């Protein structure tokens, strides 16, 4: 008789006893034992793994096991962990102070890099997170247009500000609570939700309410319901309709900014937004966000204009140093062609492994981002939005996740999160990952 595989929680308790004990301690002190629900393993069952260190493309947990890292802190670590240029920049900034609550020249240097990299950004304001960037961009759009309504798309995650946590992706989708308690009906009523990649829905909405819409927000390549790519027709409709009706087009590049190209997904796909939100890579692994765009719009922010936004740690010297070093490295040594080659190799390997195992999957990839959607049935269903993404076989993904963990591969702990890899990953790493996937699926 074949011995049954241990349940996920038993895997953690028996194979990672220190993580098991650390989680028990954390649960007594921190709600759910984690400081962000994306870390809770709610989408795969079991208990989260606690980590002690990272280097390059590897993570090491507190029980001493090492993994190939395919989340990269959910996107920021495009250069891998502890890149020498980034570490040196942080150490240099630390030697002079950690925060001043006053302007520094370093902020302008990072702003220059952002403006040079992203053609649609003429001026930029720094904040401390992607959530702050999105929240601030929405307020600015309303203040600039004098309108109340904003439009977002189901499964797109723009942070946890009240007006944006409606039909959201990321951990909200994973945990099945897309409309959070605490979000008031009054707040939610000004957020209109449409299906991604459905330009006719958007056209119909603008026909009926276009004069009340302040902004349309979209992820140019979605990573928070799994990876979903927008069609050319959908992208063109957003740009055309917002221009014709006097609304702003806000491109959420918190995840894709500087990852898919130095100018982000908008450079890769030829998108021209009015405002762009940034996070993750812009801070080089430290807490930093930014939003920027047309100068005439950005000049409505206090103190140039009247739209209020502030932050004690905005433009923090350590985060600015890390972000500057990261962007300079990406500018000086563009990695995008090499990342694309690795992505093609990984995608082809996963497809081959799934086919050989008789698995039904839909694989979506852009550059160094990818998702394997496990599906029921015999014919893969293209994933174009939340309606199709939500039909994924999350139980099968959970089995795959734990099988890969057992083989030293750390994938996103949710079917609805994209994986990422870095400039540190090698062809040998990719081939090892493919072999692990083939073995896992076959078993």
The 10s digit of each residue's pLDDT in 177-235 is: 345 677 777 777 888 999 999 999 999 999 999 999 999 999 999 999 999 999 999 99
Same domain? 50 vs 199: no
Examine the pLDDT at 3 and tell me if it is beyond 70.
no
Res 14: pLDDT: 73
Res 202: pLDDT: 96
Same domain? 319 vs 341: no
Q: What SS3 class is residue 14?
A: helix
The 10s digit of each residue's pLDDT in 425-440 is: 999 999 999 999 999 9
The rounded percent of the chain whose pLDDT value lies above 70 is 93
The 10s digit of each residue's pLDDT in 402-413 is: 999 999 999 999
Res 184: pLDDT: 73
Least confident of 9-23, 160-174, 300-314: 160-174
Same domain? 216 vs 308: yes
Q: What mean pLDDT is predicted for residues 157-177?
A: 59
**Whole-angstrom distance, CA of residue 106 vs CA of residue 328:** 13
Same domain? 63 vs 101: no
Same domain? 108 vs 71: no
Q: What mean pLDDT is predicted for residues 322-334?
A: 98
**Whole-angstrom distance, CA of residue 83 vs CA of residue 152:** 36
The verdict on residue 181 lying in a domain is yes
Pair 20, 47: CB distance under 8 Å? yes
Res 190: pLDDT: 87
**What is the overall mean pLDDT for the chain?**
93
Same domain? 267 vs 381: no
Q: What mean pLDDT is predicted for residues 29-53?
A: 94
Res 186: pLDDT: 73
Same domain? 437 vs 382: yes
**Whole-angstrom distance, CA of residue 169 vs CA of residue 391:** 14
Same domain? 321 vs 389: no
Examine the pLDDT at 162 and tell me if it is beyond 80.
no
The verdict on residue 49 lying in a domain is yes
The single residue of 67, 123, 196, 280 carrying the catalytic annotation is 280
The 10s digit of each residue's pLDDT in 278-301 is: 999 999 999 999 999 999 999 999
Residue where one domain finishes, among candidates 306, 332, 358:
332
The most confident of the ranges 3-12, 158-167, 188-197, 281-290 is 281-290
Examine the pLDDT at 12 and tell me if it is beyond 90.
no
Is 27 among the residues known to form the active site?
Answer: no
Cα first-last separation, the chain = 15
The verdict on residue 303 lying in a domain is yes
Question: Any idea what the CATH number is for the domain that residue 14 is in?
Answer: 3.90.1150.10
Same domain? 194 vs 53: no
**Whole-angstrom distance, CA of residue 190 vs CA of residue 161:** 13
Examine the pLDDT at 168 and tell me if it is beyond 80.
no
Pair 328, 115: CB distance under 8 Å? no
Same domain? 251 vs 350: no
Domain that holds residue 44: 8-78+335-442
**Whole-angstrom distance, CA of residue 386 vs CA of residue 224:** 10
Cα torsion for 427, 433, 436, 440, to the nearest 10°? -140
Question: Any idea what the CATH number is for the domain that residue 321 is in?
Answer: 3.40.640.10
Query: To which H or E segment does residue 265 belong?
Result: helix 264-269
Examine the pLDDT at 7 and tell me if it is beyond 90.
no
Q: What mean pLDDT is predicted for residues 313-328?
A: 98
Q: Which of the four pLDDT bands, split at 50, 70 and 90, describes residue 166?
A: low
Residue where one domain finishes, among candidates 290, 314, 332:
332
Res 343: pLDDT: 98
Is 280 among the residues known to form the active site?
Answer: yes
Q: What mean pLDDT is predicted for residues 339-358?
A: 98
Residue where one domain finishes, among candidates 277, 307, 332:
332
The verdict on residue 345 lying in a domain is yes
Residue 162: alpha-carbon gap to chain centroid: 19
Same domain? 149 vs 285: yes
The number of folded domains in the chain is 2
Res 180: pLDDT: 65
Name, in order, each residue with C-beta under 8 angstroms of 303's C-beta and a sequence gap of 6 or more: none
The verdict on residue 2 lying in a domain is no
Examine the pLDDT at 167 and tell me if it is beyond 80.
no
Examine the pLDDT at 362 and tell me if it is beyond 90.
yes
Examine the pLDDT at 367 and tell me if it is beyond 70.
yes
Pair 248, 114: CB distance under 8 Å? no
The verdict on residue 35 lying in a domain is yes
The single residue of 123, 152, 196, 252 carrying the catalytic annotation is 252
Examine the pLDDT at 112 and tell me if it is beyond 50.
yes
Pair 171, 42: CB distance under 8 Å? yes
* pTM score: 0.93
Same domain? 263 vs 198: yes
Is 70 among the residues known to form the active site?
Answer: no
The single residue of 67, 70, 157, 416 carrying the catalytic annotation is 157
The verdict on residue 1 lying in a domain is no
The verdict on residue 3 lying in a domain is no
Give the CA angle between residues 171, 66, 371 to the nearest 5°: 35
Residue 132 DSSP one-character state: H
Q: What mean pLDDT is predicted for residues 228-243?
A: 98
**Whole-angstrom distance, CA of residue 60 vs CA of residue 443:** 26
Q: Is 62 exposed, middle or buried (0-12, 13-18, 19+ CB in 10 A)?
A: middle
Examine the pLDDT at 170 and tell me if it is beyond 90.
no
């Amino acid at each position: 008789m074949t011995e049954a595989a241990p349940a996920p929680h038993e895997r953690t308790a028996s194979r990672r006893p220190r993580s098991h004990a650390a989680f028990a301690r954390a649960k007594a002190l921190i709600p759910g034992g984690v400081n962000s629900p994306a870390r809770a393993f709610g989408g795969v069952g079991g208990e989260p793994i606690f980590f002690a260190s990272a280097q390059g493309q590897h993570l090491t947990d507190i029980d001493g096991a090492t993994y190939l890292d395919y989340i990269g802190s959910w996107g920021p670590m495009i250069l891998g962990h502890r890149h020498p240029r980034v570490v040196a920049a942080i150490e240099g900034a630390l030697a002079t102070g950690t925060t001043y609550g006053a302007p520094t020249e370093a902020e302008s240097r990072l702003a220059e890099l952002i403006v040079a990299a992203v053609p649609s950004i003429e001026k930029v304001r720094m904040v401390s997170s992607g959530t702050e960037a999105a929240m601030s961009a929405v307020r600015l759009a309303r203040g600039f247009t004098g309108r109340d309504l904003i439009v977002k798309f189901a499964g797109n995650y723009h942070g946890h500000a009240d007006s944006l946590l409606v039909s959201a992706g990321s951990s909200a989708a994973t945990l099945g609570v897309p409309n959070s308690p605490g979000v008031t009906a009054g707040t939610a009523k000004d957020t209109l939700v449409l299906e991604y990649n459905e330009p006719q829905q958007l056209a119909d909405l603008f026909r009926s309410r276009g004069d009340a819409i302040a902004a349309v927000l979209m992820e140019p390549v979605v990573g928070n319901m799994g990876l979903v790519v927008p069609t050319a027709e959908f992208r063109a409709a957003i740009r055309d309709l917002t221009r014709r009706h006097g609304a702003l087009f806000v491109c959420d590049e918190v995840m894709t900014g500087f990852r898919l190209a130095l100018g982000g997904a908008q450079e890769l796909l030829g998108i021209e937004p009015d405002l762009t939100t940034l996070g993750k890579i812009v801070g080089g692994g430290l807490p930093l966000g930014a939003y920027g765009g047309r100068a005439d719009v950005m000049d409505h922010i206090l103190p140039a204009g009247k739209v209020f936004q502030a932050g004690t740690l905005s433009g923090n010297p350590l985060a600015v140093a890390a972000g500057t070093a990261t962007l300079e490295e990406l500018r000086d040594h563009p990695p995008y062609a090499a990342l694309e080659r690795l992505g093609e190799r990984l995608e082809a390997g996963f497809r081959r492994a799934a086919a050989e195992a008789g698995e039904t999957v839909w694989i979506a990839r852009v550059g160094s981002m990818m998702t394997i959607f496990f599906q029921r049935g015999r014919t893969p269903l293209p994933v174009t939005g939340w309606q199709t993404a939500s039909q994924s076989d999350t139980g099968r993904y959970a089995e795959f996740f734990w099988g890969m963990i057992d083989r030293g591969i750390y994938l996103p702990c949710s079917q609805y999160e994209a994986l990422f890899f870095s400039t540190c990953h090698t062809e040998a790493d990719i081939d090892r990952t493919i072999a692990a996937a083939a073995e896992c699926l076959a078993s």
